[in-house]
Amino acid sequence: MLVGKLETRVITGPSYTALNSRQQKPSNFARNLLVSTTQAAELSFNPYPNPPMTPTNLEATPCKSVQELLERYSAIAYDKQNDLFEVIGENDWSFDMAAGTISFGPALVFPVQILGTFSHSSESWLWAWANTQSGIPKQLLEQALQLKAYGEQQEIDLLKHDAVDAEEDDLHLIGAIASGMFDASGYYLADYGQGVMLITVKSPLIDQHRKHDVARLLHAFPEAISFYEMHHRPAFISYATLKGYTVAEQADTVTATGAGGSLTATFDDLGRLSNLTGSSGK
């Protein structure tokens, strides 16, 4: 099956907003992949990771489901989307597959990895590694192939099957996982008419806009967890850790301390965020 064949020529399109209010209600596709916090409690979910997470052992501990991948990467990915769109704004895009770049203007040309395409007509997602008819250069498939291998190793259906029924908003779920896992500068949804191409981009020009202050975390984390049902406590631990903060856990609180200051997150008995406060570093 071919979903959204990509031409080898340069294609262009209008800007595409990274996140919007529609995502606050996950599609049926996303609901089938995720476990609600209530279900987690019924499954005797243990919200206290052991040992405490550091950047090293966080990445060394493989995720076993889409749920765990979102808890690890969705908040950091959402955070980086703010930086990406601070750089590209509402600019139109131009994609050159031969060059392996996407351009948002003469001074905004970034290398990409192609994750896959979404078809408007069939409402389905096709991984780029399975889109053999488009002749995508192998060097643009590295992240998609790594996700495939990860899915095969951890038995995660979304990552290992070539195509699935989906809705357009579901591309944000896939983009967030890839952006976080590969430390991309962000992901982008490029609508080219027949479908939407999902890519990640990487550039020092974007990365230099990253913010690690307490204000960014206080703003980004509550917004990030509103898009999908997930366990808030491990999501906060992962986010703070990936932002370079040192995490300490107590019974119902998690404290994150870093150069930008400190934050204290309080959680209820189901591990849901009930309060988040912070103070800036001196």
Question: What pLDDT is attached to residue 150?
Answer: 96
> Is the pLDDT assigned to residue 7 strictly greater than 70?
no
Question: What pLDDT is attached to residue 78?
Answer: 96
Q: Are 131 and 143 in contact (CB under 8 A)?
A: no
Beta-ladder partners of 267: 273
Comparing 246 with 53, which gets the higher pLDDT?
246
Question: At 282, is the pLDDT very low, low, confident or very high (cuts 50, 70, 90)?
Answer: low
Q: Are 154 and 61 in contact (CB under 8 A)?
A: no
In three-state form (DSSP H/G/I as H, E/B as E, the rest C), the secondary structure along 65-129 is: CHHHHHHHHHHHHHHHHHHHHHHHCCCCEEEECCCCEEECCCCCEEEEEEEEEEECCCCEEEEHH
pLDDT (tens digit per residue) in 227-261: 888 999 999 999 999 999 999 999 999 999 998 89
Comparing 33 with 142, which gets the higher pLDDT?
142
Quote the CA–CA distance of 63 and 273 in Å, as a whole number: 22
Q: Are 270 and 252 in contact (CB under 8 A)?
A: no
pLDDT (tens digit per residue) in 34-49: 443 334 333 333 333 4
pLDDT (tens digit per residue) in 130-166: 999 999 999 999 999 999 999 999 999 999 999 999 9
pLDDT (tens digit per residue) in 74-133: 999 999 999 999 999 999 999 999 999 999 999 999 999 999 999 999 999 999 999 999
> Is the pLDDT assigned to residue 25 strictly greater than 80?
no
Can you list the positions of beta strands (E) in the chain? Answer: 11-13, 93-96, 101-103, 109-119, 124-127, 163-165, 186-191, 195-201, 246-249, 253-258, 261-267, 273-280
Round the average pLDDT of the chain to a whole number and report it: 84
Q: Are 217 and 239 in contact (CB under 8 A)?
A: yes
Single pTM value for the model: 0.82
Place of tokens 């488009």: 134
pLDDT (tens digit per residue) in 65-82: 999 999 999 999 999 999
Quote the CA–CA distance of 141 and 148 in Å, as a whole number: 10
Q: Which of 165, 90, 159, 175 is nearest to 127 (CA)?
A: 159
Q: Which of 158, 160, 161, 165 is nearest to 119 (CA)?
A: 165
Question: What pLDDT is attached to residue 55?
Answer: 57
> Is the pLDDT assigned to residue 56 strictly greater than 70?
no
